[in-house]
């Protein structure tokens, strides 16, 4: 098995399920006439053309419209030996494997019926606009008029262009083929060796090929144990979307895509999908992206009102489906958890708490959330013959709401963070109480005798 065929087989497996839209269809006319057995730079021309075709197919977005005509591969001295091997249709993964095997087994035997091959190509497009790439090492050998054939392609009513790659051609043959490109608005590419053949064929197919997405999916700083599933959402004009999935194997891997904007995310096993990243696929370029799956970090910053930070460290609890995942009393609060949607419960002391729903932890990312808690701060001082601020003994200072104690502290002054609303404050040694109204972000001090 050649390296080119092996790489094509990997592409078939890794790109299954990817779809992409292209602006035009692409038909390759492949010369397998007897002269392709001749060597150029020490390698048979047929072998070089096969290798480049394999590489070209590796770069095609799967389901891109692709067709193939081969001539001269079945019978010697037969100008009718022209076969439509593949009609113009979107490429499917399983078809690529069959196509690669067929090309591997192709041998060069026959004549060079260029004019008839061009005429045959018109019907293959079935009215679709597109490009024909003719790769040949010789001139017309079957009496056809290739300029007249090119003119008929031009006048077919289909928007078709013909590019020609002349592989080791002499001046006479090049001049003959130039009319094909001139009449149809295509380009002629001279190829003197395998390297220039590859450059020429890729240049012709560049608009169809698009670009590459080099993607790496990591979990906890390394590759996940199982193959990740990559989701690609192509953003189309008018707000439309085209959603595609593929199993990424190997990881890191390369996905060939049409030019455009995509949202890329990934998941592993039954885990949630990562947060989507927007990437731009540029013609002929490779775009790099790393997607983190699995756990992510959530940092929670608490504020009262517009800009007042909490002066104490309340307990912040992370919950999922009312199940406690973790609780911390640091500021800011930080959590490491599996990707998903959670709720946060901020305990302000006693029975008071504030709950924030629908908090997202994204795999492989650090997310910072600022909670604007509708609460205020109340400082209660006790000053009489028994109690003095900041001196022992310390009174048992209480906060009541609707006649029920909700929190208390043995301190003087005692500082409370309370949800906005109406409260009463007092202490255990006295029946006296004072009413306080707490607003979001407010700070107030109450002195009790």
Band (432; pLDDT cuts 50, 70, 90)? confident
What stretch(es) of the chain map to CATH 2.60.40.1120? Answer: 211-292, 375-448
Domain 3-209 = CATH 3.40.30.10: no
pLDDT digits (tens, 9 = 90+) for 192-210: 999 999 989 988 987 777 7
DSSP letters for 296-349: EEEEEEEEETTTEE-SS--EEEEEETTEEEEEE--SSEEEEEESEEEEEEEEEE
CA–CA dist 46, 62 (Å, integer) = 25
Quote the strand ranges of 150-304, DSSP E: 160-167, 188-191, 211-219, 229-235, 241-247, 253-257, 260-267, 277-281, 286-293, 295-304
Residue 309's pLDDT is: 58
Residue 63's pLDDT is: 54
What stretch(es) of the chain map to CATH 3.40.50.410? Answer: 3-209
Residue 3 has pLDDT above 70, yes or no: no
Regarding the domain delimited by 375-448, which CATH topology (the fold level of the hierarchy) does it fall under?
Answer: Immunoglobulin-like (2.60.40)
What's the CATH architecture for 211-292? Sandwich (2.60)
* Average pLDDT of span 299-317: 75
Total Cβ atoms within 10 A of residue 8: 23
CATH superfamily label, 295-373: Immunoglobulins (2.60.40.10)
* Average pLDDT of span 361-380: 86
Residue 2's pLDDT is: 39
CA–CA dist 265, 267 (Å, integer) = 7
């Amino acid at each position: 098995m050649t390296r080119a065929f092996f790489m094509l087989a990997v592409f078939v497996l890794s790109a299954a399920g990817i779809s992409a839209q292209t602006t035009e269809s692409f038909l390759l006319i492949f010369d397998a006439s007897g002269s392709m057995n001749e060597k150029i730079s020490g390698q048979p021309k047929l072998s070089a053309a096969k290798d480049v075709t394999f590489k070209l197919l590796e770069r095609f977005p799967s389901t891109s419209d692709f067709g193939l005509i081969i001539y001269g591969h079945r019978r010697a001295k037969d100008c009718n030996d022209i076969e439509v091997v593949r009609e113009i249709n979107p490429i499917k993964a399983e078809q690529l494997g069959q196509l690669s095997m067929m090309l591997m087994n192709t041998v060069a035997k026959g004549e060079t019926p260029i004019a008839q091959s061009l005429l045959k190509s018109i019907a293959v497009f079935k009215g679709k606009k597109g490009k024909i790439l003719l790769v040949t090492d010789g001139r017309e050998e079957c009496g056809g008029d290739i300029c007249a054939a090119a003119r008929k392609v031009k006048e077919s009513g289909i928007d078709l262009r013909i590019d020609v790659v002349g592989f080791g051609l002499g001046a006479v043959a090049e001049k003959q083929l130039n009319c094909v490109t001139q009449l149809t608005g295509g380009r002629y590419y001279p190829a003197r060796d395998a390297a220039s053949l590859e450059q020429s064929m890729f240049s012709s197919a560049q608009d169809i090929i698009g670009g590459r997405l080099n993607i790496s999916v990591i979990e906890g700083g390394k590759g996940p144990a199982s193959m990740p599933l990559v989701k690609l959402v192509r953003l189309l004009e008018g707000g439309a979307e085209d959603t595609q999935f593929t199993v990424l194997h190997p990881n890191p891997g390369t996905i060939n895509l049409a030019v455009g904007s995509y949202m890329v995310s990934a998941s592993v096993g039954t885990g949630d999908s990562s947060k989507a990243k927007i990437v731009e696929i540029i013609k002929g370029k490779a775009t790099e992206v790393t997607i983190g799956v699995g756990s992510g970090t959530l940092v929670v910053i608490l504020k009262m009102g517009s800009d007042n930070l909490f002066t104490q460290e309340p307990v912040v609890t992370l919950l999922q489906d009312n199940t406690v995942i973790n609780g911390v009393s640091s500021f800011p609060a930080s959590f490491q958890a599996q990707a998903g949607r959670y709720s946060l419960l901020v305990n302000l002391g006693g029975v008071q708490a504030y709950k924030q729903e629908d908090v997202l932890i994204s795999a492989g990312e650090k997310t910072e959330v600022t909670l604007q808690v509708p609460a205020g701060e109340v400082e209660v001082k006790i000053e009489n013959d028994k109690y003095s601020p900041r001196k022992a003994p310390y009174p048992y200072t209480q906060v009541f709401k609707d006649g029920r104690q909700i929190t208390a502290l043995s301190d003087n002054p005692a500082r409370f963070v309370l949800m906005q609303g109406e409260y009463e404050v007092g202490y255990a040694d006295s029946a006296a109480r004072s009413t306080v109204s707490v607003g979001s972000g407010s700070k107030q001090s109450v002195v009790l005798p």
